[in-house]
Amino acid sequence: MVYLISPDKGLFPMLINLFTQIEDFRSREGKRSESSLLRGLWLALFCVPLIATGETTQSLADTMTSSVLASEVAIETSVTATTSPDEISTQPALSATAEAEATWRKGVALSRFADDEPEDLTSSPTLFREIESDGNTTQTVQSGAYGRVSRRPEGSLTGRIVFASGGHGWTWHTTTSLWYTQRPLTHGMVEDMGNLDQNSLFVDDVFRAGATVVPLRPVGVQSAERVLDNSSPLVRFQGPWYDSTSTLYFGRSYDSVPYRFAIASLDDSATARFAPTFPKSDIYPVYVWARDGADRVLQTYRVAHAGGVTEVQVDHRMVGRGWVYIGEYYFNRGRGGFVEVTSRVDDPALADGHRVVVADAVRFGNGMGDVNRGGGASGWPREQEPASYWAERAMGQGTAPLFDAVDGAEDQSNNVGTPPRMSAHMNRETSGTFFDRIYHGFHSNASGGRGVVGLFNHDAEFQTDLQVQWAEKVARAINREMTDPGLLTEGMTWTERRKLTDSHINFGEIRRDYLNNEMAATISEVAFHDNAEDARLLRSPKVRMAFARAVYRAVGDFFMEHDPAKPTFVLQPASPRLLAVDVVSSSSVMVRWDAPTTSPLAGGEPRGFRVHHSVDGLAFDGGVEITTGTRVRWDGLVAGESNFFQVSAYNKGGVSRPSGVMGVATPAVEGTSVALLVGGFTVLDESLALNQKADAYLGSIYGRGGALVRVVPRLMNPGNQIAEVGRALAKSGYAFESCAMADYESRKQRSGKPEPSVVFIMTGRQPAGEVQFSTALLERLTKRVQGGGALVVSGTDLVSALDGPTSRSLPESRAFSRVVLGVGLASTDSETLAVKPVEGELLSSATVEIDAGTAPFETNYAADALTAQAGAKPLLSFSSEQADAEKFAAVLYQSPDGGGAVATFGFGLEHVAGDGPRTDLLGSLLKGLGVEPMSQQTMKTAAPGTSSNSKSAPKRAARNGRARGRR
C-alpha cells in the first residue's frame, strides 16, 4: 500500500500511531466493528490508500498530481567502504549528476549500451593454474568428488526473465536518524515483511519452472553473507583468462582488474572458482554478477554445495549488471563449497571464438544491513530492508546511483522507483523480445476492504504495454487459486471483489518511463492486512504459497499467450508424498512414495520423479530420475551409516518442491532387527507461526513495537524430523528405517523380516486436533507393547490429542494413554521449555535444551506436561521455579505381565538442541529400554540386489574429514 501524503511529515505519523493504538485497543476489547469517525479520519485526513472499497473508481487522487505519489528525490550518500579477504559489503559512494538526473526522469539511461561493445580478444590471455595447484580441478568435480553433478531442470519458463519485487522494508529517516518500517503492525502483520516472505515463495516457484530470476529484494532468510569479487584471494582461476578493461564492473573503484573473461568453448578449458569461508552451516541464497553484452553466452555456474553439485545457466546476453539469483543451497561451515564459472557451452555455435564467459562476482547469503547515512546501520538483516538499499549494494562501478534518483527527499520516496529502474538497468532488451521478461511486485492493501487487486497506472503515458491485461490476469489467477478445495481451513473465507483492478493514480513502481517500457509490469495487492479475515489468510503459509503459485501461473499464461508458437503452459507438479525407506539388506534399501495429486490448481501430471540423496538429511543432491513406478531400490550403502532421501516430481513445466525427508541406517548383520521411525508431523498452518519482535518504529518514526508474524515454511515445518532423530540413532550405533504414519498403520511385516527393535511415533509440533491416531493404529501399538515391544512416543501435543479436552480424545485414546503409555495430561502449553533429568533415572546424565529450530524467529512452542500413572517413572521434569513437582516432560512406563517398555515425551525429540546431546539422550534411552546397538565386529556387506528400479551408491571421495558413501 502507498500513501499519497508523505508518512514522515508533521502530525501525520503521530496520528497514524494514535489511530493504530485505538484500533488495537478496540480489537483486544472485542470491539472491531466499523468506526465511521476513525475510518473517515484515516481516509480523509491522513492518506488515500490504493483502494477504499471494491466499488470506487475515483478518489482524492483525482485532485492531486500523479507525481505526488511517484515523486522520488535523492539525498547524497556517504558510505564508508569496509572489506575483508572474502567479502565486499559496501562500495564507495556515487553521487548523481545533472545528466543522470535528466536521464532518470525519462526512465532510460543515455549510456545504456555505451559499454555493450565486444570484449577485446586481440591481447594475449594469462594462463592460470591456481585451481590445479590446489589439487582440485574441474575434472575432480566432474568425477563425483563433490557429489552427484546435476543441472537445474528446465520448465515452462526456461529462457524467460522474471523481475520480482516485494515492497517496503526498514527505512532510514534523515531528520530523526531512526529506522522504521513503512507500514504499521495490524492483526499481527507488517506489510514490509509480509511482502518479503511472499516474494521469496514466488521466486522459488518460478525458479523451479526454469525462469531466470532477478529479485529486487533479497530472497529468503540469511543474515550471514560472503561476497567475492574476482580480485579476492579466495577466487582461483584455471586456464586462459583475459583481464577486462571495462569501466562497468562490480568491485572497488581502484581495482586493477575490473573482471576476467574467457573464450567460450566446448570443454572446461577455463574455469574460475569463488570459494568463500562460510561462517555457519546453513541454507544460503546465491547470486551472480556479470556485465551483459552482445558477445555473451548462456553461461554455466556450478554450485558445489554440501549435497552435491548443481549447474545453473544464466543468459548474459539478456541480463546482467546486478545480482541474478541462482538458487538456495545448504553449505557446511568452512571452505567446502564454491561457485565455479566455466567456459563450457552446450551449443557449438556459441563456441565460435568470438563469445566469452565472465567471472566478476558471486554473493552467498543476504547479510546484515550496512547502509549508513551517518546515524548507523539499521541493525536488521538486509532482506528486511527495502529494494533501494539492495540496489545500492548491487550497483557496479561506472553506474549512476539508480537508488538515489532526484535530490531532496527521504529514502522511502527514493525506494518507490528503484525496482523498475533497476529492472530496466539489468535488462538487455535487444536480446529477445518484450515477451521474454516481465515485472511483478507484491504488496498487501489497507483501508478495510477484502480480496486481491491488480494495479495499473491511471494515465496511458505511464502504463507499460499490456499493463492492464497483465494486472487483470494476475488478479483472476489469485481468485481462481483461492477456490482450491482444502486450501482454506475452518473459519477462513475469501472475498472476490467485483472490480479486480485499480488505476486511480500513477504508481511509481510500475511506471512506463522508469521501466523504459521494456516489459509488462503490475503490482498485486494480494489481500488487506488491516482486515481481520484477510490478515488471517496472510498469516497462513498455505495461502501464501497459493498466492505465489497463482502469480507463477499467471506469468506462464502471459508468456504462452504471447508466444508466436502458442505453446500450452504446463504447471509444475505438486510435491509427492514420501511413504517409507525400508531396509532390504545391509547395503540396500527400498524408497517408496505416492504420486502427487494432479489438478489444474494443485499441479500438473508428473512425467517422472527425482530421488534425492543425503548423508545428513540437510543437504541433498540433484537427484536420480525415475521414469517408471513410485519406488526404487537403492544399492551400495555402507552398513551403519545414515542415509536420507526426499522425492520431487517433474514434467515439462518444471520440478515440484521436494517431499519430506525419510532415512535409514542399514544393519551390519543381515536379518537383525532395526528401529522404526514413524513421522507424523505433516501440518503447515498458522499454528506454527513465526514471530519477529521489534521494540518500536513499526509504520513510522512514531510507531509502536510488537510481535509480527513471519511466514517461512522451511522454518515452520522443514519436514526433516526423521533426519534429526535418525542421525542421532546412527551415531549411537543403532540401525533404523522410517515411514509415514499412514504407512505404519497399514504396513505388513515382510516374510522373514523381524519386528522392529523399537518403534518411534513422532508427531513433532502437530496440533492436537490434527494428530492422527486411528482406532487401527491404537490397536497396533497396544498389541506391540503387550507383546513385549519397546515404544517411544514424542510430540508437543501428542498426549493432548490422546488424553486432552479435544474432540479426538475418545475413550479408547484416553485408555491407550493411561494404560498403555502410563501417562495422563497434566496441562497443555507448558510455561517453560527448560527441562532437567530426574536424578537416579536412566536419563540422569542427559543434557536437554529445547530448540524449535525457527531461529532467527521465535515460535509459540509449548510442550505437554505429563502426569505419571501408577507404576510409571518420570525421566525429565520442568526446571523453572514455578514448575509443578507432579508435572513431567518425559515419563517411562514398564508394561506389566511381560509387556514392553514405553517412553513418552511431551516435546519433539527432534527439538533436543544439538546432535551431540540428542545422540547421548537417545543412546541412554534405548539402552534403558533394553534395545542394544548393532555389533560392529560382525559387520558384513551383502551383495547388491537387483530390481526393476535399482540405483547404486558409488563411494564418494574424502570430504570434510572423512569418506562417505554417496549417491
Residue 55: pLDDT band (50, 70, 90) is very low
Question: How far does Cα 583 stand from its chain's mean position?
Answer: 32
Q: In angstroms, what is the C-alpha Rg of the chain?
A: 29
Residue of 49 and 546 predicted with greater confidence = 546
Calculate mean pLDDT across residues 659-685: 95
3 state SS of 591: strand
Residue 84 pLDDT greater than 90, yes or no = no
pLDDT of 449: 94
The whole-angstrom separation of Cα 771 and Cα 765 is 9
pTM listed for this prediction: 0.88
Residue 806: pLDDT band (50, 70, 90) is low
Residue 208, exposed/middle/buried by CB under 10 A (0-12, 13-18, 19+)?
A: buried
> Are the CB atoms for 729 and 665 separated by under 8 Å?
yes
> Are the CB atoms for 169 and 182 separated by under 8 Å?
yes
> Are the CB atoms for 584 and 510 separated by under 8 Å?
no
> Are the CB atoms for 537 and 490 separated by under 8 Å?
no
- Would residue 254 count as lying in a domain? no
Residue of 966 and 414 predicted with greater confidence = 414
The whole-angstrom separation of Cα 653 and Cα 604 is 8
Residue 93: pLDDT band (50, 70, 90) is very low
- Would residue 914 count as lying in a domain? yes
Percent of all residues in the chain with a pLDDT value above 90, rounded to a whole number: 72
Residue 104 pLDDT greater than 60, yes or no = no
Calculate mean pLDDT across residues 768-782: 92
Comparing C-alpha atoms, which of 369, 422, 371, 83 is closest to residue 222? 369
pLDDT of 883: 52
Residue of 524 and 115 predicted with greater confidence = 524
Residue 20: pLDDT band (50, 70, 90) is very low
Residue 962 pLDDT greater than 70, yes or no = no
pLDDT of 805: 79
3 state SS of 271: strand
Cell of 582: 525400508
Question: How far does Cα 60 stand from its chain's mean position?
Answer: 40
DSSP codes, 174-195: TTTTEEE-SS-EETTEEHHHHH
pLDDT of 948: 45
Calculate mean pLDDT across residues 505-523: 98
pLDDT of 370: 97
Calculate mean pLDDT across residues 194-209: 99
pLDDT of 47: 37
- Would residue 240 count as lying in a domain? no
pLDDT of 753: 84
> Are the CB atoms for 180 and 698 separated by under 8 Å?
yes
- Kindly report, residue by residue over 826-852, the tens digit of the pLDDT: 988 665 667 889 988 889 888 888 988
The whole-angstrom separation of Cα 794 and Cα 809 is 17
Q: Structural domain of residue 909, as residue ranges?
A: 758-930
- Kindly report, residue by residue over 576-629, the tens digit of the pLDDT: 999 999 999 999 999 999 999 999 888 999 999 999 999 999 999 999 999 999
Of 423-427, 669-673, 786-790, minimum mean pLDDT range: 669-673
Calculate mean pLDDT across residues 202-219: 99
Residue 940 pLDDT greater than 70, yes or no = no
Cβ-based neighbours of 505, under 8 Å, separated by 6 or more: 4, 59, 61, 66, 69, 457, 458
- Kind of pairing between the strands at 361-365 and 790-794: unpaired
pLDDT of 222: 98
Residue 65 pLDDT greater than 50, yes or no = no
The whole-angstrom separation of Cα 817 and Cα 826 is 12
- Kindly report, residue by residue over 383-414, the tens digit of the pLDDT: 999 999 999 999 999 988 888 876 667 899 99
3-state helix, strand, coil in the chain (%, to 5): 25, 25, 50
Question: Which DSSP symbol is given to 238?
Answer: E
- Would residue 915 count as lying in a domain? yes
Residue of 62 and 181 predicted with greater confidence = 181
> Are the CB atoms for 655 and 208 separated by under 8 Å?
yes
- Kindly report, residue by residue over 339-358, the tens digit of the pLDDT: 999 999 999 999 999 999 99
The kind and range of the H/E element at 204 are helix 191-208
- Kindly report, residue by residue over 241-271, the tens digit of the pLDDT: 999 999 999 999 999 999 999 999 999 999 9
- Would residue 351 count as lying in a domain? no
3 state SS of 942: coil
Number of structural domains (the chain) is 1
Residue 967 pLDDT greater than 80, yes or no = no
- Kindly report, residue by residue over 685-733, the tens digit of the pLDDT: 999 999 999 999 999 999 999 999 999 999 999 999 999 999 999 999 9
3 state SS of 527: strand
- Would residue 281 count as lying in a domain? no
885: domain CATH number is: 3.40.50
The whole-angstrom separation of Cα 777 and Cα 771 is 12
pLDDT of 671: 83
Of 94-98, 167-171, 872-876, minimum mean pLDDT range: 94-98
Calculate mean pLDDT across residues 145-171: 95
pLDDT of 408: 67
3 state SS of 368: strand
pLDDT of 749: 73
> Are the CB atoms for 301 and 313 separated by under 8 Å?
yes
Residue of 88 and 149 predicted with greater confidence = 149
Neighbours of 906 (CB within 10 A): 31
The whole-angstrom separation of Cα 488 and Cα 421 is 37
Question: Which DSSP symbol is given to 661?
Answer: -
Residue 496: pLDDT band (50, 70, 90) is very high
Cβ-based neighbours of 370, under 8 Å, separated by 6 or more: 82, 89, 90, 377, 382, 393
Place of cell 505519523: 13
pLDDT of 400: 85
Distances (CA, A) of 78 to 184, 310, 371, 582: 29, 39, 9, 61
Handedness of CA 914, 919, 924, 930 (dihedral sign): positive
- Would residue 299 count as lying in a domain? no
- Kind of pairing between the strands at 338-342 and 189-190: unpaired
pLDDT of 134: 74
Mean confidence (pLDDT) of the chain? 85
- Kind of pairing between the strands at 361-365 and 501-502: unpaired
The whole-angstrom separation of Cα 813 and Cα 798 is 11
- Kindly report, residue by residue over 881-903, the tens digit of the pLDDT: 455 678 899 999 999 989 999 99
> Are the CB atoms for 185 and 709 separated by under 8 Å?
no
Residue 58 pLDDT greater than 90, yes or no = no
Cβ-based neighbours of 826, under 8 Å, separated by 6 or more: 864, 865, 866, 867, 884, 886, 887, 888
- Kindly report, residue by residue over 558-568, the tens digit of the pLDDT: 999 999 999 99
- Would residue 442 count as lying in a domain? no
Residue 569 pLDDT greater than 70, yes or no = yes
3 state SS of 19: helix
pLDDT of 950: 62
Lateral strand order in the sheet of 690-696: 704-710, 690-696, 858-859
Strand partners, 359: 260
